[in-house]
Structure 1
Amino acid sequence: MKLLAVALSLLLPPVISSAQNNADTVAKRPMAMQLNVGTQGIGLAFNYEVINHLSFRAGINAIPLKANDVFKISGVNSTSNVSANFYNIHFLADYTPFENQEWFRLVGGLAYFLKAEGNARIIPSDDYKYGDLTLTEEQIGYVDLTVDWKGLAPYIGIGLLRNFPKNKFNVNLDFGTYYLTKPDADIVGTGILSGNSSQSEQLRDNIKNYRWLPILQVNFNYKF
């Protein structure tokens, strides 16, 4: 029994020390909250380093935009209302490929766009005369064009400047692109413009390759 006690006294300190070191290593892995602003709107993300040179980000971004009279149709007096609503949750991996070069990262991952819709409504603003008949704006109607990219989208890009702050705060950059799902599109007309609805299929064909969403993003990071 004495021999066993001596053996345990010799073995336990290194085991305990090793466990403490492992716990300290895990505890020292950097974590940060991120506020970002860019072409995918404004968002929040949580960033955690899982091993040296590799960290994961999980976040959400949103673009709720509306604008009036963005464009005009030649020869027609009209008003236009344009909106863009993009909301996504994303999971990204940041990899620093070069030793002692923390300013450069490779970034890849996946997003799910809960909503990814653009809409334009064109409203003629004058009465329309057809022979002796005068049609009001209400009788003329309006045309709605809607494009929808809702769904999964892979992401690839690069990051510049340090991923995690040395102290508490820093700023870094992301450049990349999402590859969106094949867009669905519809044209809906009212009044005498209702015949434009038949052009939906042509619109889908015209925009079928509009699937790249470029990302330029500034990230403000706070390390725990």
Structure 2
Amino acid sequence: MSVLSTNGQVVSSDNLLHQKSVQLNIGTQGAGLELNYKVMPKTSLRLGANFVPLAANNVFEISGFNSTSRVGVNFYNAHLFADVIPFNRFRNVRIVGGFGYFFRADGNARINPTDNYTYGDIVLTSEQVGHIDLDIEWKGLAPYLGFAFGNLYPGKRFNVGFDLGTYYLSRPDARITGTGILEGNSTQESQLESNIKNYRWLPVLQLNFNFKI
């Protein structure tokens, strides 16, 4: 592809190094901001950050156990990616690789019983029964690999693209904390960690809005 330079000469767009753009994105890893910089004819660097804080009440029920629940998810990362154009005929397709550092990457759930609990002649209130907290954390460095579609550097002022890829997170740590008669459930931490040890893939599907600078 050729374009006119400022002096009227025809030059290859591959030679337009040091192009820059700002990218706003939204998707499975929340909302984010990236700075894109072209360092080689077919290679660009992306430096950015994403965050996703979510919380919801009563998203699940436990059969035979009346309770309320609160679930939260928090993922905050900074990342550095390299975008490479592998095919001259498909210049809007890029392979993306790099790393993200997750300052916070966790999910948590608190379960509160709502009924009294009867054991023989003993009746315990929901406050005496207590509550239980489940916490899972993937904090740390995570490699990333994926594909991107669209031009990082708009021909005019603005364009749209999208990314499809995945992070490979660190092995998760799990904690179970209980109060009242539920305090003894903390002994199940090792079993919970074993059950979730392979939950390390964080898929990324995001829509990108690029602005030329």
Corresponding residue for residue 54 of structure 2: 65
How many residue pairs match? The answer is 200
Which residue identity does 1:208 align to in structure 2? K
Provide the residue aligned with 1:218 in structure 2.
207
CA distance in 1, matches of 2:91, 2:19: 14
**Offset at 1:160?**
1.1
**Distance between the aligned counterparts of 2:59 and 2:141, measured in 1?**
29
Q: Which letter maps to 2:200?
A: R
1:196 and 2:185 correspond: yes
Please tell me the residue identity of whatever aligns with 1:216: L
Question: Is this contact kept in 1: 2:22–2:212, CA < 8 A?
Answer: yes
Please report how far the alpha carbon of residue 120 of structure 1 lies from its aligned counterpart in structure 2 after TM superposition: 0.6
Q: For 1:45-124, what aligned pairs fall within 5 Å after superposition?
A: 45-124=34-113
State the partner residue of 1:37.
Answer: 26
Look up the match of 1:19: none
Matches within 5 A, 1:176-195: 176-195=165-184
CA contact (8 A) 2:70 2:111 kept: yes
Partner of 1:173: 162
Q: Unaligned regions of 5+ residues in structure 1, if any?
A: 1-24
Q: What amino acid maps onto 2:121 in structure 1?
A: D
State the 1:163 CA deviation.
2.1
Aligned sequence identity (%): 56
* Matches of 1:134 and 1:48, distance apart in 2: 66
Change (3 A) 1:168 1:100: farther
Instruction: List alignment gaps of at least 5 residues for structure 2.
Output: 1-13
- Structure 2: which amino acid aligns with 1:172? G
- 2:8 aligns to what? none
The Cα shift of 1:214 comes to 0.4
TM-score (norm 1): 0.87
Shift of 1:28: 5.6
Specify the code of the residue in structure 1 equivalent to 2:191.
Answer: Q
Aligned equivalents of 1:186, 1:150: Cα separation in 2: 14
Listed one character per residue, the Cα deviations across residues 48-90 of structure 1 (whole Å, up to 9, x for unaligned) are 0001110000001001000000100001101110000100000
CA drift at 1:27: 8.0
State the Cα distance separating 1:132 from its structure 2 match.
2.1
TM-score by length of 2: 0.91
CA distance in 2, matches of 1:51, 1:191: 61
Tell me the SS of whatever aligns to 1:87: strand
Residues 6-50 of structure 1: CA deviation (Å, up to 9, x unaligned) = xxxxxxxxxxxxxxxxxxx99863100110001110010100000
Runs of 4+ displaced beyond 4 Å: 25-28
Which of 143, 148, 153 in structure 1 is aligned with 2:132? 143
Paired residues of 2:141 and 2:169 also in contact (CA < 8 A): yes
Conservation of the 8 A alpha-carbon contact between 2:17 and 2:38: no
Q: Deviations over 1:185-207 (max 9, x none)?
A: 01111100011010001001111
Amino acid at match of 2:98: G
- Counterpart residue type for residue 206 of structure 1: N
**Structure with more of its chain in helix, by fraction:** 1
Contact 2:53–2:75 under 8 Å retained in 1: yes
